Structure formats: C-alpha cells, structure tokens
Amino acid sequence: MARRTFPRRNNAPSGGTCAPVFARTIKEPGYLQTLRPSRSRGSNELRKIFLQTSIIPSASGSAYLEIPSSSPASKSTLIPPTSSLKITASVQGPKPLPRSVPFSPSLLLTTTVKFAPFATRHRRGYIRDSIERDLGVHLETALRGVIIGERWPKSGVEVVITILEGDEDGWWGDSGNDGSVNRGGWGLLNVLAGCITVASAAITDAGIDCVDVVCGGVAALTRDPAARDKKELVRILDPCPAEHKEIVAACAVGYLASRDEITEIWMKGDVGADPNALVEGATHAAVGSLAVVKEVLLEALQAKFQGPMEGNESGLKRKAQDVEMTG
C-alpha cells in the first residue's frame, strides 16, 4: 500500500498506529500465545452492536456504528486483543445536481468509503486507495437497488463513510514486527457489512425512501482448532478474524430481510462444495444485526416525537413504528 504524503501536512510517522510490541513477547516464547484471543460466543451468536443515528447535525442523515471488542481486555499488555469496528456514515442530500451533470431521471447515488489514517494498525494514507474505492463500489451496489430513486429526478445523494477503526485481518501476534497483519483481508468483509448497515441506518435517518432496510452480515468457514485432524470446518456467523487462527472462506452480504433479497455479495477464500451454506449464514447474520437497527431507528423516532406527542402516545407510537418499519 504505497502511501502518498501531502506536502502541506505534518505527516504522521509511517508505520503502526498501535502500541509497540514489548520485549517480553519476544523473550518468552510461550507468553505471546497466552495473549491470543479466542471466540467465546457460540458459532451463531453475533457480537454486540452499538448504533446511533443523527450524530451529525449538518448532514441530512447520519449514523455511527460500533462493534466493541468481544474479548476482555488483557491486564498484562496494552495492546487490545481484537479491534473494534467503528464506522460513521453521513448522507448528504438529496440535493439538486449541478447544471454540468447531464440529466438523470432518478437519484444519483455516490458512495465514498474512507479509512481514517489511524483506522488500522498499519497507517493509512490520506488519499483514497484502491481498497477504499473497491469498498465504495461494493457499498454502492448494496444500496442502489434499495433506494427508490425515481422519486428524485435530477438530484444526487452522497453517502460518505468514514471508518474510524477497521476490523483487522488477523491477530496482531501472528504478524511480523510491524504490527500489520496481511492475511487475505478477512477484516474487509466485516468492514463492508458494517458499512452497509450503518449506511442504511443513515439513509433511513435522512428520510430517503427505500424498499427495505438493508443490512450487512458476514459468515465464515474456519478450521476448528479443537478438532485434531485439521480437516473439520465450522461455519460461524460474524467472525472476528483475530479470534481465529485460520479462516478458510468468508462471505459478506447486503440483505433485505423482509423481501428476502440479496443486494450485494462478496465471497472470499476456498468456499468448497457448498457456497450456499455460507451465503445463508451471512444472511442470518444480517437478519441478526437488523434487529438492532430496527430497535435503534424506532427509538430514535420515538425520541424525536416524544415531546409534542405525549397526549396520544399509544396510537402514534404505532404509526411511528409503521413508518419506520417500512423504511
């Protein structure tokens, strides 16, 4: 990842963004392995999700999503065992297209995905690199079919995603000295799923008409460390790459639960004979995260109309629910 530097910035030192590796990990061979996180939740259990909408007042819609680290922080080292995904999304528009743009009968969607420079253990550049552009394209496919674009001819909407902390591709201890883990980019799938979910929440927050609330989910096939023969593969939902020594395949989807439709799919690795199982797992994960999205959106809506609506609370509540459900 060639990093370009800006001449007019005080560029941060290149290299990692995390605490350095301490001598003890090198001196005591066994010690490092004791720090390895492992998955404590069930194979179908998702990580907890924090979601909040309307965090940016100047945007027409915005949302923040965080998937906190599920492994407990270690007492003996400063380095967090796993990363925790943190993504913000803001929606600008719909607003009229500039005159220079040719006529468009429906809403023009642009998606921009950017990692913050400190989002991963290896420092990112300020200019979007190919990975970020790729994520942007994936996200656009996930969202395009969901938005009812015909209602805004001649206008555009911009979905801007900033990844404040990305999921890593593996455990830091498995990597070289520089702290960067480059094992097939499993973390990107989680990032994409997160992007889809948070973008969808932000779009709903912006009040743009959609056919459904699209949600992202990830499933993976991993080698079971318990099984000795090393042949056994287990399917897990919402993998945290740092918790698994070896991920064989993974898949991220953008899924419309109530219509049972997939808008985006990204598969990686050796899927084996039955890719459908993996896709299905990912859709399950998406439905799982939808639960949180729905709850949060409902709450946000209720909070918004709490004041003036106190009189006839119950009836309106149902109405509000109705609106939000239909997304």
* Residues from 202 through 261 that contact another protein (CB under 8 A): 204-208, 211-212, 238, 257-261
Does residue 298 sit in helix, strand or coil? Answer: helix
Least distance from another protein to the Cβ atom of residue 73, Å: 12
Q: Which residue has the tokens 């690199």?
A: 129
Among 71, 77, 92, 120, binds another protein (CB under 8 A): 92
Q: Which is nearer to another protein, 240 or 296 (CB)?
A: 296
Among 4, 95, 133, 230, binds another protein (CB under 8 A): 95
Q: Which is nearer to another protein, 4 or 151 (CB)?
A: 151
Least distance from another protein to the Cβ atom of residue 22, Å: 24
Q: In angstroms, rounded to a whole number, what is the distance separating the alpha carbons of residues 238 and 142? A: 18
Q: In angstroms, rounded to a whole number, what is the distance separating the alpha carbons of residues 327 and 315? A: 19
DSSP 8-state secondary structure symbol assigned to residue 11: P
Binding residues for another protein, rule CB under 8 A, total 85
Among 99, 177, 273, 311, binds another protein (CB under 8 A): 99
67 neighbors 88 (Cβ within 8 angstroms)? no
Interface residues for another protein in 127-146 (CB under 8 A)?
none
Measure the N-to-C terminal CA separation of the chain; round to a whole number of Å.
39
Residue 145's CB is within 10 A of a number of other CB atoms, namely 18
Q: In angstroms, rounded to a whole number, what is the distance separating the alpha carbons of residues 117 and 4? A: 12
Comparing C-alpha atoms, which of 169, 260, 256 is closest to residue 220? Answer: 169
Q: Is residue 73 close enough to count as binding another protein by CB under 8 A? A: no
Does residue 136 sit in helix, strand or coil? Answer: helix
Among 16, 61, 136, 170, binds another protein (CB under 8 A): 61
Least distance from another protein to the Cβ atom of residue 26, Å: 31
The interface region with another protein, picked from 19-27, 40-48, 133-141, 183-191 by CB under 8 A, is 40-48
Among 18, 21, 32, 49, binds another protein (CB under 8 A): 49
Does residue 213 sit in helix, strand or coil? Answer: coil
Q: Is residue 80 close enough to count as binding another protein by CB under 8 A? A: no
The interface region with another protein, picked from 19-27, 83-91, 129-137, 170-178 by CB under 8 A, is 83-91
Comparing C-alpha atoms, which of 288, 229, 226, 223 is closest to residue 253? Answer: 288
Q: Which is nearer to another protein, 26 or 303 (CB)?
A: 303
The interface region with another protein, picked from 30-38, 133-141, 150-158, 224-232 by CB under 8 A, is 150-158
Comparing C-alpha atoms, which of 167, 269, 205, 270 is closest to residue 52? Answer: 205
264 neighbors 213 (Cβ within 8 angstroms)? no
Q: Is residue 288 close enough to count as binding another protein by CB under 8 A? A: yes
| Residue 268 neighbours by CB under 8 Å, 6+ apart | 184, 185, 186, 189, 249, 250, 251
Look up residue 125 and give its amino acid.
G
Q: Is residue 4 close enough to count as binding another protein by CB under 8 A? A: no
Q: Is residue 291 close enough to count as binding another protein by CB under 8 A? A: yes
Q: Is residue 82 close enough to count as binding another protein by CB under 8 A? A: no
Q: Is residue 102 close enough to count as binding another protein by CB under 8 A? A: no
Q: Is residue 93 close enough to count as binding another protein by CB under 8 A? A: yes
